[in-house]
Structure 1
Amino acid sequence: MAKLDERIGFIGGGNMAFAIGSGLVRCGIVKPSQVLASGPHIENLQRWRELGATTTDDNCEVLEHTDIVFICVKPHMLGPCTTQLKCKHVPSAKDANKLIVSVLAGTSLQTLEEKFDFMDNSGLKIIRTMPNTSMQVGEGCTVYTGNSRVTHHDLEKVHLMLNALGLAQQVPESMIDACTGVAGCGPAFVYTIIEALADGGVKQGVPRQMAIQFAAQTLLGAAKTVLLTGKHPAVLRDEVCSPGGATIVGVHELEKGNLRATLINAVEKSSQRSAELGKK
């Protein structure tokens, strides 16, 4: 696994930030000493210190003293956050060497450029990403795109980091909201499916904890089969459905319940909401 020499900063030390930071350390891409995380309440950053990272309650310290800066605040906090940063920041030539990486849902590159215009904006490099929470177990799915100033080398660095925590793919910015509906919101849809499968098992007499374990492992195995075989999901489904067997009867019930249409609608609505959030 390749390693990075840069200092990695996190403005906002919540769950997503920690999933990325701890994952990078776990994979050996960076050392704990290269990581600096900030948050409004220093006591809430204890897990970062246990990781070996440095912590601060001053966001400006992260911006000034790291090379790759992940912006991990809530989208509605971007304005107050950048206003605070603007008060202390002194623009300089080194701004052009910094890489700003946003994980904010629905926040466009244009908005990010506007919010960070207090830096040496003529050369500011910004990458917009949309990761998902499965990064915390090294099985994330992240899409990313950069502004016009981002170099191929910058994209390689970000890809190295994000791909180490699952699957990472560069996409046009116009596709990010749609990808949010699939990958960003998808884990919540899958958790609902796991819970429902487990409920079905419980109804048929399987103990609750065992049913949850079986349902989760079944989804994990099916997903891995899709990725490793490269076969279309419909082909794999047909391979499981023996004529007149138990599986095809269950699949028929899913069709009667409009499971596929419901999931398609869920992705559509989540994609639309992501786009709406970006316009607010």
Structure 2
Amino acid sequence: MSTTIVGGGNMGEALLAGLASTEVTVVEQSADRASYLRSRYDVEIAELGPAVAKADTVFAVVKPYHFAALLDALAEHARPGQLIVSAVGGTPTDSIEARLPGTPAVVRTMPNLPVSVGAGTVAISGGRHATPEDLDRVRTMLAPLGRVVEVAESQLDAVTALSGGGPAYFALLAEAMIDAGVLAGLPRPLAEELVLTTAAGTGRMLGEPHADPAALRAAVCSPGGTTITAIQQLEGRALRAAVMAAVVAARDRSVEMGR
């Protein structure tokens, strides 16, 4: 199966690194970026028209503000029988289908940045003309990037807010913890090492089957100890409410962008 990736940025590179395909072509406008991808992955870099015309599957991995122009270009070069996979946030499958000729098979995806290290989460949702076989093909292609889950398209805005933005939320918490370590008297390099290794180890524990975040937190909180005292401070400052409000706000923004 031949695949064309349109967009060679961070997410496009992650897809390129993990896609299980016999033939991959990349469309990338930046000469420097194209040169980097060609040298690192020995991949063909081509113009949009020829690359799309020969592909069985086209992955659109561009910024949302470039997507409308890309769809206009795809309408000129796409052919019947192709599978169009969007990794662009905020544009529903019916809008994509309306911009393309015929009855295109469209699958919308929401990957998060950890796909770049094979530990991501990708939510997928099929459009009106996407068959179960199309979804199976996308699931198989994306499996090397991490966990692939199928969701209703109406849930993708919430997925975008939760797992799409999730790495930024965890990174922000890590930043705050590093600064807290410095405030408590640790050298910054040591605080960074402690926080990042703790984050990595906790992530592995939470990735185990049947992991329970509440049980893990409780296991660390000894009665009257230091950790439960810290948790009291966080709860007193409405950490949970702030996180929930942030995710809902991100979901609402995703909905707004799709209008």
CA shift for structure 1 position 194:
0.6
The within-5 A match list for 1:41-52 is 41-50=30-39, 51-52=41-42
2:203 to 216, 219, 223: 223
CA contact (8 A) 1:42 1:55 kept: no
Aligned equivalent of 1:12: 7
Aligned-partner SS, 1:267: helix
Give distance in 2, aligned partners of 1:209 and 1:70.
40
Q: How does 1:49-64 map to 2 (within 5 A)?
A: 49-50=38-39, 51-56=41-46, 58-64=47-53
Quote the offset at 1:229 in angstroms.
4.5
Cα distance change of structure 1 residues 86 and 192 upon mapping to structure 2, 3 Å threshold? same
The Cα of 1:103 is off from its aligned counterpart by: 0.5
Query: Which of 178, 184, 190 is 1:210 aligned to?
Result: 190
Secondary structure at the counterpart of residue 169 of structure 1: strand
SS of 1:44 mapped into structure 2: helix
Whether contact under 8 Å (2:75, 2:99) holds in the other structure is no
Aligned partner of 1:185 in structure 2 is 165
Long gaps (5+) in structure 2: none
Instruction: Tell me if 1:22 matches 2:17.
Output: yes
Q: TM-score, normalised by structure 1?
A: 0.87
Which residue in the other structure is 2:121 paired with? 141
Quote the residue 1:112 is aligned against. Answer: 96
C-alpha displacement of 1:8: 1.4
CA distance in 1, matches of 2:217, 2:73: 53
Residues 244-255 of structure 1: pairs in structure 2 closer than 5 A? 244-255=224-235
**One-letter code of the match for 1:69?**
V
- Given candidates 39, 60, 63, the residue that maps to 1:74 is 63
Size of the aligned set, in residue pairs, is 258
Q: Aligned with 1:148: secondary structure?
A: coil
Distance 2:141 2:176 in 1: 34
Over the aligned positions, Cα root-mean-square deviation in angstroms equals 1.6
Residue 217 of structure 1, CA deviation: 2.2
1:243 aligns with 2:233: no
Query: 1-side partners of 2:29 and 2:75: how far apart?
Result: 17
- Structure 2 distance, partners of 1:72, 1:191, is 23
SS at match of 1:127: strand
The secondary structure found in structure 1 opposite 2:89 is: coil
Cα distance in structure 2, aligned partners of 1:231 and 1:14:
33
- Kindly provide the amino acid, as one letter, of the partner of residue 132 in structure 2: H
Identity %, equivalent residues? 33
1:65 and 2:43 are equivalent in the alignment? no
Structure 2 CA distance for aligned equivalents of residues 247 and 239 of structure 1: 10
Q: Does 1:103 find its partner at 2:93?
A: no
**For residues 14 and 193 of structure 2, what CA distance do their matches in structure 1 show?**
23
Instruction: Measure the CA separation in 2 of the matches of 1:136 and 1:231.
Output: 24
Q: Compared with structure 1, are the counterparts of its residues 171 and 106 closer, same or farther at alpha carbon in structure 2 (3 Å cutoff)?
A: same
**Deviation at residue 136 of structure 1 after TM alignment:** 1.0
SS in 1 for 2:253: helix
Q: One-letter code of the match for 1:136?
A: S
Question: Which residue matches 1:3?
Answer: none
Normalising by the residue count of structure 2, what TM-score does the alignment of the two structures yield? 0.94
